[in-house]
Amino acid sequence: MLDPKLIKEKPQLIREMLKARSVDFDLDSLIEFDQKRREFIIKTDELRKKKNQVALEISQKKKAGEDASSILAKMKNISNELTKFELEQESIENKYSKLAMTIPNLVHESVPVGVDESANKEIKKWGKIPDFDFKIKDHIEISENLDLVDLERAAKVAGARFYYLKNDLVRLNQSLIHYGLDFLAKKEYSLVQPPYMINRKSMEGAVIADDFEDVIYKVEDEDLFMIGTSEHAMAAMHSKEIIEGKDLPLRYAGVSPCFRKEAGAHGRDQKGIFRVHQFDKIEQFVFSRPEDSWKEHEKMLGIVEEFYQELEIPHKVMLLSSGDMGKISAKTYDVEGWMAGQNAYREIVSCSNCLDFQARRLKIRFRDKTNEDTQYLHTLNSTLIATTRVLVSIMENFQTKDGHIRIPTVLQSYMGNQKEI
């Protein structure tokens, strides 16, 4: 959600944002609803004032033991009229907020303007792409040969885009998680294992309507939705709270499974465990003072870069264009890791600053002193590890001539000093 005052005072700024994102949004209606909404507030407030005055009169007459029947009739009329006004006001408020909830976030000035990923900008590149002196396999073939993944039975039991991890790949998955948590704990993140299902209000605060349809699974007959990432549960964690300024920034490392419909991805990455309905993830989530959020954004990216350098995964950092970026984000870096089997860099991390967009929806505020006006804080999120994608990268980049997988050095101690799968 954007600041209604900003929309009212600088509609031109909003129009530019919509154009940069190539988003079709009925801004004129929103402005009109907002204006009507304000008019109704004034009208109903006036009537309420009258009602309070009459109620006081009644109370005084009754206390004095006088007859109040003529005023009672007057009061009944005011009450009826007020009910009508309130219904109308509620209806216009609903129209306004429903539309306001679908407007995308502002776009930071450093974001390249463009319609899709072709306008993304490469910022950095790290690591040497591995050079193989044998014919390499993709992760599907490797995992079949070593009995590490069973896709066929998963399809039978759950459907497409599911998998059974098996044997040492299960251990490698757990090792990645363990290593990632230790890594963030050292950076003074608080570790959080959130609820894997959250209610509608919380989900709507963290996610924009389109994504709701395309990625979020709903639990039948319950007000519960499966989280698409721990970001969703962590964003809502402090909803409706006023945080003390001295406690900011709050840095959390969330670990959870992630559940995604992948409804818009038909035909893409159809095979293997690269794009799946369920995977484990460690996520960085930061609640920050507004003035610090850009600094925090770069800091999160730095942590990600350091992590993948230690893991020895060649990668590049992409700055997403206005058209490719998610609607809740004002600026997003993707980190793309090398996947030898695809001979390509593929997305493994997404690192975003959402400014006060989620905070407004979730009413997360802060202040330094108790009498000070509250201010919305800024929220930021970044993947540290989406395990399945990192597993693909490790399997493909670290494969050996004899068909095995070398375990990255930093993970070996987590695997009982095992060096190879």
Residues in touch with RNA (CB under 7 A) = 4, 38, 41-42, 44-46, 48-49, 51-53, 55-56, 58-59, 62-63, 72, 75-76, 78-79, 242, 365, 369-371, 373-374
Q: Which is nearer to RNA, 44 or 397 (CB)?
A: 44
Strand partners, 365: 242, 376
The three-class DSSP label of residue 236 is: helix
The three-class DSSP label of residue 244 is: strand
* DSSP one-letter string for 91-142: HHHHHHHHHHTTSPPP--TTSPP-SSGGG-EEEEEESPPP--SS----HHHH
Separation between Cα atoms, residue 142 and residue 173, nearest integer Å: 16
E-strand ranges in 262-357 read: 278-288, 315-319, 331-339, 344-353
Number of helices and strands in the chain (H, E): 14, 15
Q: Which is nearer to RNA, 76 or 419 (CB)?
A: 76
Q: Which is nearer to RNA, 79 or 309 (CB)?
A: 79
Q: Which is nearer to RNA, 53 or 190 (CB)?
A: 53
Q: Which is nearer to RNA, 9 or 26 (CB)?
A: 9
Shortest reach from residue 371's CB to RNA, in Å: 3
Q: Which is nearer to RNA, 44 or 175 (CB)?
A: 44
Shortest reach from residue 370's CB to RNA, in Å: 3
Shortest reach from residue 107's CB to RNA, in Å: 24
The H or E element that residue 186 is part of is helix 168-186
Separation between Cα atoms, residue 246 and residue 399, nearest integer Å: 48
Q: Which is nearer to RNA, 34 or 334 (CB)?
A: 34
Separation between Cα atoms, residue 172 and residue 340, nearest integer Å: 19
Shortest reach from residue 17's CB to RNA, in Å: 21
Shortest reach from residue 315's CB to RNA, in Å: 39
Determine contact, residues 67/61, Cβ cutoff 8 Å: yes
Q: Which is nearer to RNA, 48 or 108 (CB)?
A: 48
Residue of 207, 163, 145, 185 whose CA lies nearest to 303: 185
Shortest reach from residue 62's CB to RNA, in Å: 5
For helices 27-63 and 11-20, angle between their N-to-C axes, nearest 10 degrees: 140
Which tokens in the block code for residue 185?
Answer: 């704990």
Determine contact, residues 180/187, Cβ cutoff 8 Å: no
Separation between Cα atoms, residue 395 and residue 397, nearest integer Å: 6
Shortest reach from residue 165's CB to RNA, in Å: 22
Q: Which is nearer to RNA, 154 or 237 (CB)?
A: 237
Shortest reach from residue 356's CB to RNA, in Å: 12
For the chain, how many residues are written? 421
Separation between Cα atoms, residue 111 and residue 228, nearest integer Å: 25
Shortest reach from residue 61's CB to RNA, in Å: 9
Shortest reach from residue 57's CB to RNA, in Å: 8
Which tokens in the block code for residue 400?
Answer: 């050996």
Q: Which is nearer to RNA, 42 or 109 (CB)?
A: 42
In Å, how far are 144, 283, 379, 406 from 171, measured between CA atoms?
Answer: 17, 20, 33, 14
Q: Which is nearer to RNA, 58 or 136 (CB)?
A: 58
Separation between Cα atoms, residue 69 and residue 218, nearest integer Å: 54
Shortest reach from residue 137's CB to RNA, in Å: 40
